[in-house]
Structure 1
């Protein structure tokens, strides 16, 4: 909230430059990038000023606080998406980036759209604060604190999945399938698996189709269409294929899976894997639960 006096140190022009450069970085990562990584890259391209390099009494650094505070306008404008600690640009954001090449105009438009969003809320506050350029926030807001805590939690989960033993990852997926009501009959032992890591059925005896063949990959990068096709080659007409990865899938891979008419294939990336794990956590065996030991922590929801 502002008292009518603009504080020195950050201008609308400066914020515009930060936000435009942030969008340049995000568009170099179509699948999104971890927030902390994006902010670190931003500072490499747009170094902090002496003012921005300072710290607040609470210990937070101005540079990161200014960046995070300013992204609120872009999120409410529908240009920036934040999901599980990952920041990415929306199609609308890409259009805005092309339409407003001037950094100040770019950020000003985002602020205008934020006002539109704010006025549509059931109980919009009636204050004068518009942007960090109008009234610099001198400590992290509850929203920013929550956001950073959530990002840190997801970063830990992603890091854990990148380091998990591949065989334990297979066991994790098998445990999840069992919690979902399927019957796992086989988990590939360590070594070459012939293109299949887990075999499951819809009934205990494996007498009823379909047979579920699962490929599990511990990966940081995205699974491309050629790798997906190699897995689909081991599927028969009566099989259902599940391809699970701790990374993501390329657009071509998603298109290939979606357009299949004969083979049934479902893609599960890291986000979907964790979502299913949380959804079925109360049905997991204690042994399975220890393979990805998550614990819910409750926060007072920010406004």
Structure 2
């Protein structure tokens, strides 16, 4: 019997954590394999492209991700899970827990919705990775987008759990990773220890400090950053006689805040949690490359005759 797909792990995973305690995925692997009748040889089977990640770990990980996106379990810290009230209700319902069951939850539908490419004229007909009417190239791209979407959500949730001081250092490092202050690794600094009047970080764009970018970092969980917060930041910029600022949050900005920055003379850029996670992934901050796939094609020049 082949190794069950990731959906088969969902029901037993929720059942195993029904006691409400925090469990590590490592401790759950053996009882889940027993429940799914996965033998020892299959448990050791690795993904073809990965030297050490097993198929079981990969499928358990995706079952965890999908259940988390649907709200049936929480992730208190990386590698650990805990059942939620919705997860308990799912068990009590007696229904089988799989993708079809999870699709009743709006947040899960938002997670699996097709990722549309704004430059693609056929974006309205985009398909999810679960459909079969796409070419292999399209499936690879869609899978890559799904992986990055899941990574971005997990990444921002992890950032929210860090200290404010950690977050302030992070935003400075992100700006430097993007190339600002690239003349020196010491071009940026966090100011949380100096209480610098509403400024959390500084990036000097040149050695003499003739051009400076001031940063504000708000590590919010759910609350939106409103216009008063942006106005206070603009006031802090005014005290510094600064022309440029970047306001970064782990949550989102209110409509009033977005409208306000479009009306003021100073150049203030707003980066919300979604953009922050995407930038961290793009510039390899807090993430690392797990696997690399090479897609090869015929080299027509090799076969061309003179």
TM-score (norm 2): 0.49
- Greater relative CO, 1 or 2 (CA 8 Å, sep 6+): 1
TM-score under structure 1 length normalisation: 0.49
